């Protein structure tokens, strides 16, 4: 089947960018920091190579191309959920109590957002592709919501976010946000916007790849040691001392203000 030179150049450029990110990730030893994310990067290359191969041989509108795209997309989506969990675990996992509370909240919020976004729009699904776009939008909304809540926890508890984790999360957040907007327009103007949706999704992922490349370009920092938290007995003694001082200050103020 004949394809334009522009389409061939684009396919080669996409695979070259993704392959370069994978090569740098392997060189930097990213697997020991983010194993699921590293697997995801390699799976992206395999999936795109398969998609381009089917598209170039069978055509972009063929049933085989449709099946190949969405089957690999399902695998990548599951891996992305794993990466989101990995990011949240890296940010909050060192604080056992906070992580236990936050993980339950994050799971509940994810399930709620995906279910709400899917059920609120699934009734509009006249075509199979539109139904898939609706579900995909719910999934993207769930991922973005989890990242925002996790970073809100970090801000509230003043937990430091290292550059590597922050940029990886930024890439996923940017990609999810663009997909939410793109899926929304695709649902409103389904057939007219569908080709544009494909281009926007591809370009937004390439920008996310650039962000991840920036994250791993520099040598990765040594793993941070677990924070030294105050023992319960020490905390109780400190709390008692603080309460005594507060009572003393309160008594002094009462005497002064008589």
E-strand ranges in 85-126 read: none
* Full-model pTM: 0.76
Q: What is the mean pLDDT of the chain?
A: 78
With a cut of 50, say whether residue 125 has pLDDT above it.
no
| Chain center to CA of 1 | 36
- pLDDT confidence band for 10 (50 / 70 / 90): confident
Render pLDDT for 160-209 as a digit per residue (tens, 0 to 9): 899 999 999 999 999 988 888 777 766 555 455 555 656 677 788 889 99
**Residue 44's CB: how many other CB atoms inside 10 A?**
21
As a whole number, mean pLDDT of residues 136-162 equals 83
Place of tokens 């909240």: 105
pLDDT for the residue 108: 78
What pLDDT is recorded for position 35? 96
- Residues in contact with 90: Cβ distance below 8 Å, sequence separation at least 6, in sequence order: 33, 34, 165
Residue 170 is inside which H or E element, if any? helix 163-188
pLDDT higher at 218 or 115: 218
DSSP 93-132: TTSHHHHHHHHHHHHHHHHHHHHHHHHHHGGG--SHHHHH
pLDDT digits (tens, 9 = 90+) for 220-234: 877 655 555 555 565
pLDDT of 247 strictly over 80: no
Q: Which 3 state secondary structure label does DSSP give 127? A: coil
What integer pLDDT is reported at residue 239 of this predicted model?
55
* Residue 26: partners with Cβ closer than 8 Å, 6 or more residues away: 38
- Rounded to whole angstroms, the Cα distance separating 131 from 190 reads 11
66 vs 51: CA distance, rounded Å: 9
């Amino acid at each position: 089947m004949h394809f334009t030179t522009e389409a061939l150049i684009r396919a080669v450029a996409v695979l070259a960018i993704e392959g370069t990110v994978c090569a740098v990730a392997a060189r930097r030893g990213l697997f020991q920091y983010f194993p699921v994310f590293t697997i995801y990067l390699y799976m992206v290359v395999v999936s795109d190579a398969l998609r381009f191969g089917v598209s170039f041989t069978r055509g972009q509108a063929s049933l085989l191309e449709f099946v190949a795209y969405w089957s690999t997309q399902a695998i990548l989506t599951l891996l992305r959920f794993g990466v989101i969990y990995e990011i949240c675990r890296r940010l909050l996992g060192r604080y056992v109590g906070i992580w236990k509370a936050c993980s339950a909240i994050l799971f509940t919020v994810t399930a709620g957002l995906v279910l709400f976004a899917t059920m609120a729009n699934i009734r509009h699904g006249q075509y199979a592709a539109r139904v898939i776009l609706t579900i995909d939008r719910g999934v993207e909304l769930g991922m973005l919501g989890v990242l925002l809540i996790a970073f809100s926890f970090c801000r509230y508890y003043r937990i430091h976010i290292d550059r590597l984790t922050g940029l990886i999360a930024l890439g996923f957040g940017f990609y999810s946000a663009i997909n939410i907007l793109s899926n929304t327009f695709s649902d409103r103007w389904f057939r007219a916007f569908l080709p544009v949706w494909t281009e926007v999704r591809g370009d937004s992922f390439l920008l996310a790849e650039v962000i991840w490349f920036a994250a791993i370009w520099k040598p990765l920092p040594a793993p941070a040691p677990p924070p030294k938290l105050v023992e319960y007995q020490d905390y109780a003694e400190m709390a008692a001392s603080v309460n005594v001082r507060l009572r003393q200050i309160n008594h002094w103020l009462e005497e002064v203000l008589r």
